[in-house]
């Protein structure tokens, strides 16, 4: 496994590969768990060379304390990637990617950023797209892999690749879950054992919708709101039924696999997000 700290060293090394070799790219912010590792495994299956980046991107945090408190587990992360035989790891400093005082770029992704995370985390997607665009320009991968748990991010990255007029194929990887159904996340480590158990409510609600699609969307929405209302430990931030293509709210189901239900909620001060595509 090759580890590079600067884009200059990385790009120089990438010149040694032929154009016929497929390069897979998995961007992460570290604190790697099974969800991240499953994405790396998918890249290894589909590509000749897999590059994983570990970089906590400052421009996508709209809360300075979240950035300060973000876990740094680089040593453990590198060990996990080595066990998977990841080919290349890129661990840049902020100075390697941003000029002094550089801010996030302003993007227009139309309706994709209006609701959900776009509403509750202003500026987040401009920061995310800024760094992903930088990575794409540095690495120019054949395929880039993103987890479906961050569904809005996945759809925005697809739009970004189109705006860049890039041939990079954006691949969404299904969410990896605990046995309980809770979506794998580095944030789960911040939860007590009892809260982890209670947090399964999020997935239970999504599953209920999947199993009761014959019910009207407003009925399902009301059901979920009641479930959270009855759980005093949870604070529901949003529950949105949206079209997968536009991420705009829907009141009636569209074609199969073109609908998404997205939930964000707090428990013990930890923000959890999850979704299901129907």
**Residues tagged active-site:** 36
CA dihedral (252, 255, 258, 260) positive or negative: positive
**Burial zone of 242 (CB within 10 Å; 0-12 exposed, 13-18 middle, 19+ buried):** buried
d(CA 202, CA 220): 13
CA angle 104, 43, 261 (to 5 degrees): 65
User: DSSP state, 150?
Assistant: G
**Of 118, 111, 109, 161, whose CA–CA distance to 140 is shortest?**
161
Q: Tokens 């453990």 belong to which residue?
A: 76
CA angle 113, 119, 121 (to 5 degrees): 95
Report residue 14 CA to chain centroid gap.
26
Rounding to the nearest 10 degrees, give the CA dihedral for residues 32, 71, 161, 154: 70
């Amino acid at each position: 496994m090759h580890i590079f700290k600067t884009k200059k060293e990385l790009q120089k090394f990438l010149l040694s590969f032929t154009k016929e070799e497929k390069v897979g790219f998995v961007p992460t912010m570290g604190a790697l768990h099974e969800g991240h590792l499953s994405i790396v495994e998918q890249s290894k299956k589909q590509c000749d060379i897999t590059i994983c980046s570990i970089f906590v991107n400052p421009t996508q945090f709209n809360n300075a304390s979240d950035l300060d408190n973000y876990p740094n587990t680089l040593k453990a992360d590198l060990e996990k990637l080595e066990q998977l035989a990841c080919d290349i790891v890129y661990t840049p400093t902020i100075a390697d990617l941003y000029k002094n005082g550089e801010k996030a770029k302003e993007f227009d992704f139309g309706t994709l950023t209006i609701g959900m995370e776009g509403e509750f985390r202003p500026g987040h997607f401009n920061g995310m797209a800024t760094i992903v665009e930088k990575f794409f320009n540095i690495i120019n991968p054949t395929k880039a892999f993103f987890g479906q748990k961050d569904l809005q991010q996945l759809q925005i990255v697809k739009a970004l690749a189109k705006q860049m007029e890039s041939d990079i194929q954006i691949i969404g990887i299904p969410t990896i879950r605990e046995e309980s159904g809770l979506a794998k996340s580095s944030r789960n480590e911040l939860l007590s054992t009892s809260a982890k158990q209670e947090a399964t409510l999020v997935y239970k609600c999504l599953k209920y919708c999947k199993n009761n699609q014959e019910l009207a969307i407003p009925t399902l929405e009301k059901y979920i709101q009641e479930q959270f209302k009855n759980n005093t430990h949870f604070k529901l931030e949003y529950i949105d039924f949206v079209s997968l293509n536009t991420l705009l709210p829907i009141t009636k189901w569209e074609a199969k696999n073109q609908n998404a239900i997205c939930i964000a909620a707090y428990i013990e001060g930890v923000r959890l997000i999850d979704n299901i595509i129907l």
